[in-house]
Each structure stands twice: as C-alpha cells, then as structure tokens.
Amino acid sequence: MKKADIVEFYARLAEANPHPETELAFTNAYTLLVAVALSAQATDVGVNKATRALFAEVDTPQQMVALGIDGLKQHIRTIGLFNTKAKHVIALSEALIAEHGGEVPQDRAALERLPGVGRKTANVVLNTAFGHETFAVDTHIFRVGNRTGLAPGKTVLAVELRLDKATPQPFRLHAHHWLILHGRYVCKARTPECWRCPVADLCRYRPKTPAPKAKRVDAAPA
C-alpha cells in the first residue's frame, strides 16, 4: 500500500472512531495486565463478565496473591484454560512483587519475563496503560494487515514490524485499537463486510463482499 493510501486508510478509521479504546474492562495497569493475560483464546465480553467481581475485590498483585489460586479460579472458571491462566496470574503477581515492587514495568522485555506474558500482551499493556506507540498483533490485526495490504507478513512479528515501519503520525498511538476493532466488526474472518467498509477502495482484497440482499416479504393473502 502506498504511503498516501496508508495515511488515508488511518484517517478514515480515525474519523469513524476518533477515540478508540480497548473493550477489556480494567481499573489500573495491573488489572489491565491480568485482563489481557486472561483474554488469550477468549472473548473480551467473556473476560469482562469473569473479572467484574474479581476486580472489585482485587486490584493489586498483593491482593491477588492473598486471594490465592483457588480463589482466583472461582472467579475465572468460565474462561477457557482457566486452570493454566490462574497459575500464570498468581505467578506473575508474585514476580511483580519480588522484582518490581508490585508495580507493572513500562518495559517490554521486563513484561515478557513475567509468567504467561508474551509480546502481544506486553504491547497491549504498554500502549493502553502507558501510552507507548506499540502494535499488538492479534488474529484480527494479522488478518487486516494481510488482507488489506496495509502490513503483509507471514508471521505475527513480521506484521508488527511492518506496521511499526509503515504507520505515520498522528496515527501511531491508536493504530492498534483502530485495526483490532476494524477486524472484529467489519473486516471479519469468514465474511468481511466490504459493503460497509470505510476503506474498501484502498484495500487489496478481492473480490469485495457485496451487501446482503434484503429478505423478500410476501404480501399476506387476501
């Protein structure tokens, strides 16, 4: 995609949603870290339902460790892989206390050393909690980057690096959220809704998906 098209691409997404935000519920950097860790192979809606009561009770690593793994499991048992995720959340909470004074570090390498935290999770926390210009590539952004031609790549890291290189100011801070929301609600995996896409003319995807036909409503018999 040409530079001018990339600028136009982001400008249209920004016009449609000037202040994009994560759909995960959180109260501080720590609860965001926990929410993102829990969201792997789960929906934001499902995570929010599970953490609503949890975050009313727990919003620090110390409180999480005090709650314990069994107590945490009771809160998140509706989330897929909750046993493994509970272990990771307790372990990362202990690591935050032991290595960072209970604070979430503003450093990707330090975040990635925490149990259960990968590059995507680290990038989300850095961007959403601390305002870093990072690009957290999930399945939605990987699809949008490749399908549209904005940032093609064979791996998640390749797409991330391509986005980092191609995305200009003033769009860098919110690019991650614009792209994930676009992939979640418009540029869907099975059937992209090209007919209502604001960047369809800039996108390389062919063939474009037409608008669904209106259902015929037959007149009632006399």
- Over residues 50-99, the pLDDT tens digits come to 999 999 999 999 999 999 999 999 999 999 899 999 999 999 999 999 99
Answer yes or no: are the C-beta atoms of 76 and 38 closer than 8 Å. yes
- Over residues 3-30, the pLDDT tens digits come to 999 999 999 999 999 999 999 999 999 9
- What pLDDT does 60 receive? 98
Q: How would residue 210 be classed by pLDDT, with cut points 50, 70 and 90?
A: confident
State the catalytic residue, choosing from 2, 70, 107, 138.
138
Residue 174 token pair: 């919110």
Going by the DSSP 8-state scheme, the letter that residue 212 receives in this structure is P
Structure pTM?
0.89
- The answer on whether 54 is annotated among ligand-binding residues is no
Active site residue 120: yes
- SS3 label, residue 26: coil
Spell out the domains of the chain, with CATH numbers in brackets.
3-19+135-202 (1.10.1670.10), 29-130 (1.10.340.30)
- The answer on whether 203 is annotated among ligand-binding residues is yes
- The answer on whether 193 is annotated among ligand-binding residues is no
Dihedral Cα 204, 207, 212, 218, nearest 10 deg: 160
Q: What is d(CA 105, CA 100) in angstroms, rounded to the nearest whole number?
A: 7
- What pLDDT does 49 receive? 95
- Over residues 117-168, the pLDDT tens digits come to 999 999 999 999 999 999 999 999 999 999 999 999 999 999 999 999 999 9
State the catalytic residue, choosing from 49, 59, 120, 154.
120
Active site residue 138: yes
